[in-house]
Amino acid sequence: MDILPLQAGDWAFVGTNWWILMQGLYVTVLLTVGSLLLGFLAGFPGGAIEVYGRGPLRSVVRGVGVLLRGTPIVVLIVLFFFGVQWPDIGAVPLGGLLPLPAFEINGQALLASTAALGLRSAAYQSQVFRGAIRSIDEGQLEAARSVGLSKLEAVRHVVVPQALRRSIPGFQNEFTIVLKDTSIAFAVGLAELLTRGFELFTQPAGQTAVVEIILTVSAIYFVLTFLTNRTLDRVENRFAIPTGE
């Protein structure tokens, strides 16, 4: 067994091209935030409808959720990109803030990737919220009704505030999954972090730096995931439902 022969010259190559990885990181963060936001905006009502909804609306939400959860994300992204006629918004300029040089990404690829990752995330987040809502004792709803709140008010003021707090651990999981799955946007040519790493080691000067580049990209994903999980841990503790102890 040899010791891992990582080479100083290859690390220097990563060093001089760090800004290319940072441009990729920019797109990765943008895609993660956009997808999670879309996932929350669609997933939270989705979860509520699955619990309180009636009739065809609930059936539709359930059906769509099952479809989205049951399809591999790469298939979804390719389908959304090639199967949906997105408005041609052209190239989206990004960066330009020092020290990050300005660059452009394919707008349609960004829309398709955000939609695919966001809706898939909505399907998962709806289950996180459904579980969190279900975890609030039915008796609380009855108690709220007995003091004169309407059903909507009871859900809005009694159940939701507690359910949101209880959904943080599940949401944390979902965040990590979406962050890492943004790398699949590579399939439609969106220049996110992994694509940028790929760009680096397929150019003649970087051909010996494959492992160094992949290790760097892995480290960036790890740092992002670690920091966000720690932050969400704090948020969870800060907003934990008081136990009265």
Partner 1 sequence: MLGSLDDGNMVRNDTVDRRSYLRAVAAGGVAVGLAGCNGNGNGEGGVEVAFEIETGEEYGFGVREGESDLQGALDDGLQAARQDDVYSDLIEEYFGNGDDAGDVTEGADGGTGAGTITPGTAPGFAPFEFKEGGELTGFDVELTEAIVARTDYEFGGFEEFEFDSLIPALQDGNIDMIAAAMTITDDRDEQIDFSNAYYEANQAVLVSSSSDIDPSGREDLEGRVVGAQSGTTGEGEVDKLIEDGIISEDDKRIYDNYELAVNDLESGNVDAVIIDVPVAENFAER
Give contact residues for partner 1 (rule: CB under 8 A).
1-7, 10, 17, 20, 23, 72-75, 78, 82, 91, 101, 103, 106, 108, 181, 183-184, 186-189, 191, 194, 198-205, 207-208, 210-211, 214-215, 218
Smallest distance from partner 1 to CB 28, Å = 14
User: Given the complex with partner 1, which of 31 and 163 has the nearer CB atom?
Assistant: 31
Cα distances from 161 to residues 91, 158, 240, in angstroms, run 41, 6, 11
d(CA 96, CA 100): 6
Greatest distance between any 2 Cα atoms in the chain: 74
User: Given the complex with partner 1, which of 103 and 171 has the nearer CB atom?
Assistant: 103
User: Given the complex with partner 1, which of 136 and 185 has the nearer CB atom?
Assistant: 185
User: Given the complex with partner 1, which of 155 and 217 has the nearer CB atom?
Assistant: 217
Smallest distance from partner 1 to CB 186, Å = 5
User: Given the complex with partner 1, which of 78 and 160 has the nearer CB atom?
Assistant: 78
Smallest distance from partner 1 to CB 242, Å = 39
Smallest distance from partner 1 to CB 133, Å = 28
Smallest distance from partner 1 to CB 61, Å = 24
Smallest distance from partner 1 to CB 148, Å = 49
Q: Are 203 and 131 spatial neighbours (Cβ–Cβ below 8 Å)?
A: no
User: Given the complex with partner 1, which of 74 and 149 has the nearer CB atom?
Assistant: 74
Smallest distance from partner 1 to CB 136, Å = 32
User: Given the complex with partner 1, which of 150 and 218 has the nearer CB atom?
Assistant: 218
Q: What are phi and psi of 72, to 5 degrees?
A: -60, 145
